[in-house]
Chains A and B, each alone.
Chain A
Amino acid sequence: MIEKEEYIKKLHSYLKKYVASDPTPGEEALYKPVDIYNVPKKEAEEYKYKSIKYIFKHHYENNSFYHDYCKENNVSPDDIKSIEDFNKIPLIADKFFKSYPEGREFAMWLATLYTGELPSIVIKKKDDHDGIINKFREAGLVVTYSSGTSGKHTFIPRSQRTFNAAEYAIAKSAITMLYPEWEYDINGYLLMPHPFKTNVFAGKVCGMYFDVIKDVRVALERELSADLIQQAMQTNLKGRVIRYAMQRETNKIIDRIINWLRKNDKEGNKISFIGAPFLLYFVMEKLEKDGEYFNFGRKGSIVTGGGWKIYEDKRISTEDFRKKVEEILGIPQELCLDLYGMVEGNGWMTQCPEGHYLHVPNTYYHVRVIDENGEDVAYGEKGRFAFLDGLAHSYPGFIVSGDEVRMYEECPVCHRSTPVLAPEVKRARGSEMRGCAEEMRRVLSMDMGGADA
């Protein structure tokens, strides 16, 4: 069996293009450890202290709105002398990233959110959101978004550097947990929109999949814009046409995946899936209906992310999903892992194969679980997921999310040294329903047998 150090070194060589030549402390804390989920506690804390202190100072000094916000809260980088002081760092509610103005002011909003100077970006009067995003992209930035079920997206302006770090982090997180199963010579299926054709974060961040896996197929070749989703929900002719097309497309996707499974099974290839669980669920439902089963065993691995809603009225637990995977595809449950992340952050909480608890990459990512007054709750208690992100170089990544989690000081099942979140993450009461996978599901699962009007 390949040594872990060798395994990660090999991965690093495939991810070289994402590595910064002048790494920040946060990036070092991501690249250097062999196993980011098993760094000795003291060492992890040293990494984390340096990462967060550096990034906080960077935003304090180079981002005017965050600087003012810190002043309002009477906090400056000098106040951060230990990890305990991290609680003083002002957090921004995730809703803030949805509170953008319309029209050309949207470009200014993105520019103000961005930490540091921007190259010249020419905005034309007719440019809409997508037009403005494309102008930022031409200038070398990566503006991604998520969650537009209510018509409002979360927009995050990332520099190429920050986006590279997010991609490196997601690859290292998943592949570390899958040790020693990953190798380059695998056939992969991406259950997300095409990374090079979308600005949806969950799709775009999967671009690294093409670098670490030999052959990648993409389930959804076209962009699923929020506009399309909204239109698909209308009762007019256009809405009906879109729904009909989507229904056909979903059935085709399912058939394509099944054919791909058959081919790889026959050829004895190693396979991997990454992406939204609902699509694979549909595939498994069809296989089950047709009485077709596979036995990929350790030749298969699955990394999921996104929502666990299958139909409007039906959710599936990660545990039930794993059982189904084992039953239908023959992939063992320890090779079916879920990953929790969000458009606002660059850290990926990844399930361990042993207990499926979500491990926090605590060398560069500081997680807090807070109550409604912004105070930390005790380990094991329910609260809002908040984080300080040592990799968010281009925007202040000190954020309170709308997700409800429970955090434990250590994993009750495996030996790894990081704090963990309980496997099921829910939206807190009153938080908007969200998730890239959820948006994709809303359109693709229409007419798939769920409750449909």
Chain B
Amino acid sequence: MLREWKEREYIPPKNMVKLFVKGSFELSKVMLKNFTKLKKVRQEKVIYRPPKRMYEIPEYKPGMKVVRSDEKYLRPTLFCNPYAKEIIALANHLGAFEKEPYEYANDVFEFVKRNVILQIVPIDGVVATLKRGYGSCIHKISLFIALCRAAGIKARYKLYALTVIDQWYDTFINVDPIMREWYDAMGYFMLHGEGEAYVDGKWVVADVGPTPERQVASGIPITKFGDDSIGIWADAIPGGIMRTESLPLGMGFLSKLMMNISPGSIARMNNNVINMYEKGKKMLEEMGGEEEYMKKMGGGMKMPTMKLEKKGIIFE
């Protein structure tokens, strides 16, 4: 079993262990230092209403196609079951086996990015995420990966510790003093990620975490399939990028533990995300849609169109 765990990358890589140990150590220090503050924060009641699911889950019909393979990056892994009925139904609904792999992966990306709202909740499986309609970036990546794998497209996790732009610092970190002190002590946010799908002979990154509305509210470009969040709204800590087939064992337990330290802080973060989403939605309505927004991102300039010319080039 140990060999299988290792092979499927259920055992966290050394870097991730290092990251969690350092994170837990810093968190313990911050908690000890701010014991009274923490007690007060824990007692605070924060009103939180989770967002409603924005889509219907298609009905599963027997005989729907799915790729069942034991190949690396295609098989089920922890919290990511591509054979679940709901996943198969959605994959077929999104055009698996009908569309070209790139087109399908792009549509899966758009579905997950746009419809699943980011909320910090304990790590659980893809079906729970799909039914709920919200989840953390890790939940969203798992859903993306499961939908790709169900259609026979290899997919994996790209996880890293990161520093974020100011606007996201305000949403996630600056919400309460403990969180801020923890981030400042470490100098980075512990874990974020993206999905990667293997299409047309290469791994294509899928930054499914932020909805377009949140990106608009933060004044950053709306990322597309193939756009990396690194360099746009986040910076990975050097040496920290981990590409894995699976989430590691213990992550579910750890995430539950973290939620219990200060549920009020998490609720505040989640409320901030919902507020950002609403703000971005309003902004988009006011400015006439995403195309207009992206035009403005270019400094008010239209992008020239280019008809490629050969000039003096000779292809051998």
**Interface residues of A, Cβ cutoff 8 Å to B:** 64-66, 68-69, 72-73, 90-93, 95-96, 99, 101, 104-105, 107-109, 111-114, 117-125, 139, 149-151, 232-235, 239-240, 243, 311-313, 370-375, 384, 386, 400, 429-430, 432-434, 442-443, 445-447, 450-453
Q: How far is the CB of B287 from chain A (nearest CB, A)?
A: 10
- Identify which of B242, B299, B307 gathers the most chain A CB atoms within 10 Å of its CB: B299
Beyond A239-B239, A313-B188, 5 additional contacts (C-beta under 8 Å) are: A68-B307, A90-B301, A95-B303, A108-B309, A453-B188
Cα–Cα, bound, A13→B237 (Å): 47
Q: Are B311 and A114 in contact (CB under 8 A)?
A: yes
- What is the chain B residue whose CB lies nearest that of A443? B238
**Would you call A233 and B300 a contact (CB within 8 A)?**
no
Q: Which of B221, B239, B242 contacts A452 (CB 8 A)?
A: B239
Residue of B nearest to A72 (CB): B302
**When A65-B307, A105-B308 are in contact, do A232 and B239 touch as well, CB less than 8 Å?**
yes
Total A-B pairs in contact (CB under 8 Å)?
A: 180
Taken together as a complex, chains A and B put the C-alpha atoms of A332 and B312 apart, in Å, by 52
Chain B residues whose C-beta falls within 8 Å of the C-beta of A149 in the assembled complex: 230-231, 235
A448 to chain B, nearest CB (A): 10
Nearest B residue to A108, CB-CB: B308
How many Å from the CB of A328 to the closest CB on chain B?
Answer: 25
Interface flags, B272-316, vs A, CB<8A=1, else 0:
000000000000000000000000111111111111111111111
Tell me the complex Cα distance, A117–B72, Å: 49
Complexed CA–CA distance, A229 and B250 (Å)? 31
Chain B contact patch, size range: 35 or more
**B303 and A96 contact, CB distance less than 8 A:** yes
Q: Which residues of A contact B15 (CB under 8 A)?
A: 235, 453
The one of B167, B305, B306 in contact with A429, judged by C-beta atoms closer than 8 angstroms, is B167
Q: How far is the CA of A451 from the CA of B160 in the complex (A)?
A: 13
**B residues in contact (CB < 8 Å) with A:** 13-15, 18-19, 22, 160-161, 163, 165, 167, 186-188, 218-221, 227-228, 230-233, 235-243, 296-316
CB distance from A388 to the nearest CB of B (A): 13
Q: Which residue of B lies closest to A95 (CB)?
A: B298
User: Would B313 and A118 count as touching, CB distance under 8 A?
Assistant: yes
B309 and A111 contacting across the interface, CB-CB below 8 Å: yes
Q: In the complex, which of the residues B161, B242, B243, B312 contacts A111, with contact meaning CB atoms closer than 8 Å?
A: B312
Known: A68-B305, A108-B308. A372 touches B231 (CB 8 A): no
**CA A322 – CA B218 in complex, angstroms?**
33
- Given known pairs A312-B187, A432-B231, the reply for A384 and B299 (CB within 8 Å) is yes
Bound-state CA distance A234–B311 (Å) is 39
Q: Which residues from B are CB-within-8-Å of A371?
A: 300
Closest-CB distance, A441 to chain B (whole angstroms): 10
The chain A residue with its CB closest to the CB of B243 is A234
CB proximity of B168 to chain A, nearest CB, Å: 11
- Docked CA distance A96–B306 (Å): 10
Contact of A453 among B220, B239, B300, B304 (CB under 8 A): B239
Q: Cβ of B187 and Cβ of A451 under 8 Å apart?
A: yes
In the assembled complex, the CB of A450 is this many whole angstroms from the nearest CB of chain B, namely 8
Residues of A close to B233: CB separation below 8 A: 430
Task: Give the residue name and chain of the A residue nearest to B183 (CB).
Answer: A313
Of the residues B188, B236, B304, contact of A233 by C-beta under 8 Å: B236
Name the B residues within 8 Å of A125 (CB-CB): 315-316
Which one of A119, A374, A445 has the highest number of Cβ atoms from chain B below 10 Å of its Cβ?
A374
Listed residue (B19, B22, B302) with the most chain A CB atoms within 10 angstroms of its CB: B302
How long is the Cα–Cα vector from A445 to B313 in the complex, in angstroms? 40
B304 touches A68 (CB 8 A): yes
Pick the contact of A121: B228, B239, B309, B312 (CB < 8 A).
B312
